Amino acid sequence: MQRSTDRILTTHVGSLPGRGEAGHDNPDAAAIRAIVDAQRDAGIDIVNEGEFTKGGDWLSFIDGRLGGFETASAAGAPLLMQGRDRETFAEFYKFAAERGTLFYVTRDKPAVKRVYRECTGPITYTGQAALQREIDLFKAALGAEAKADTFLTTTAPASLEPYHANRYYRTTEEFLFAFADAMRVEYEMIANAGFLVQVDDAWLAALWERIGVGMGLDAFRKYCMLRVDALNHALRNIPEDRIRYHLCWGSWHGPHAFDIPLRDIVDILLRVKAQAYLIEGANARHEHEYHVWEDVKLPAGKILIPGVVAHATDTIEHPELVSERIQRYAARVGRENVIAGTDCGFGERTHPQIAWAKLRAMSEGAALATAALKFS
């Protein structure tokens, strides 16, 4: 995996705006090439295909890729529609639900419908053909361009679990490790194709204000560690330097007043078998948490990819602010161990014009940070 040895490198979380636009619902290599070129033009060093090969969504792509499940009416809906945030700010959530303001959606591009499933038999992975199509499209779009600095996203079992209830396995642990064994096929196919594997885990931390507050911190940490152990089981055959792990707090446009602090789970984050960790670092709820790295040591060989531009506001960050954010992390973990990133994906969260402007601001800020950190 590339490091910031000569300058501050840039990347993003994965999802880019454009779902529902012509050519993006069923993209060909030319459409994927266009999104790669757009990232390069914006100054992004480590790119992907915008998640267009998977319909632009980090969750629904898994529908049809797993055997052992049957469609359920709403197996996980009560859990996902509750929590301290929704209780405390009920009037806001009612307002947002009526207007679709938790995400950037329109009548022509409505929010993705989630499907809830129940496990009724042994879990298997059946998505080889669909994933191979993703891989082939991305390879064709890249042509002779090296794949070493490109990534494909996938999802952690812990963030698929809220939509997949267990009705078959005797224990939760058996269910989780069976789930992980199935997802292992997907992770290894991406790695074997030559791409970096990015595992998205948006629900693990976000479940704190839904179930964690009630169970207490110690119990919730055990809950998280079991799911990280299952993920590591799935990643066991992939070299660590081919893995990026993205942890966020759900990242919907809401108060997030009860997000679990990074300090309470940073050791669990570092427990994940990955070389690079993508975390939120730009939004108003988590920007201050760079202080965590003043007394938590980033293990040798690891890379931190903090968000230095936020998807949760339409205000475009000034490059000087981006540079300051990068420098904060560089001062604490070492400049070669920092890559500039985004808080979360821009698809369904940000207007396209704003998203691309933010990516350009990030690249400009990275150039300013490079100069300030005196790489040359």
pLDDT reported for residue 348: 80
Query: Torsion angle, CA of 359/365/366/371, rounded to 10 degrees?
Result: 160
HSE at residue 115, side-chain half, CA atoms within 13 A, is 14
C-beta separation of 338 from 323 below 8 A: no
pLDDT computed for residue 76 by the predictor: 47
The CATH architecture that domain 29-372 belongs to is: Alpha-Beta Barrel (3.20)
pLDDT of residue 251: 84
CA distance 320 to 311: 18
Token duo for residue 51: 């998640």
Per-residue pLDDT of the chain (376 residues), as tens digits, is 999 999 999 999 999 987 656 445 678 899 999 999 999 999 999 999 999 998 878 888 899 999 999 998 754 456 777 899 999 999 999 998 887 777 776 556 666 778 889 999 999 999 999 999 999 999 999 988 877 789 999 999 999 999 999 999 999 999 999 999 999 999 999 999 999 999 999 999 999 999 999 999 999 999 999 999 999 999 999 999 999 999 999 888 899 999 999 999 999 999 999 999 999 999 999 999 999 999 999 999 999 999 999 999 999 999 999 999 999 999 999 999 999 999 999 988 889 999 999 999 999 999 999 999 998 7
Q: What are phi and psi of 154, to 5 degrees?
A: -150, -175
357-366: b or e for each residue (b if 16 or more CB lie within 10 Å)? Answer: bbbbbbbbbb
Helix intervals (H) in 148-271 = 157-160, 172-192, 203-206, 212-215, 217-234, 266-269
Q: How many CA atoms lie within 13 A of 156 on its CB side?
A: 29
3-state secondary structure of 65: coil
362: Cβ contacts below 8 Å, ≥ 6 apart: 10, 12, 43, 308, 309, 317, 322, 340, 342
Measure the CA angle with vertex 279, ends 220 and 134; round to 5°: 105
